[in-house]
Amino acid sequence: MVTFEQARERAEALRRDWQGPGLFYVAPWGYDLGDDWLVLVGAHEGIMGGQIEYVPLDDQQTLVDKRTGILRHESALGRLDDELVPVGDWSQAPTD
């Protein structure tokens, strides 16, 4: 079983292919979606600063399978309303 911290480490591997805009960031908080971890990955300016120009326009989320550790990108928005279970360190999450 892959832990949330291990899922974040796998997401860190995306840094090498990051082409911006902004500074690459993996949030210390995310969501448990049952079989997957939803890891917040993207521009620091978008995740922490709320700067909309750094937020992607598509709905692709970074998911890590808890059993296999395989990282993939897919739409998770249809699942979010029913299954969002916060995990990680939310003390660092923006409050606005």
What is the tens place of the pLDDT at every residue in 47-64?
999 898 888 777 678 999
Could you give the CA distance from residue 20 to residue 93 in angstroms, rounded to a whole number?
21
pLDDT bin (cut points 50, 70, 90) of residue 77 is: low
Please name the residues in contact with 50: beta carbons below 8 A apart, sequence gap of 6 or more. 94, 96
DSSP type of residue 91 = G
Q: Which two tokens stand for residue 24?
A: 């690459």
Average pLDDT of the chain to the nearest whole number: 89
* Beta pairing partners, 36: 65
**pLDDT score at 79:** 61
Please name the residues in contact with 40: beta carbons below 8 A apart, sequence gap of 6 or more. 26, 27, 29, 30, 47, 62
Query: Which percentage of the chain shows pLDDT scores above 90?
Result: 64
What is the tens place of the pLDDT at every residue in 79-90?
656 678 999 999
Q: Evaluate if residue 78 carries a pLDDT over 70.
A: no
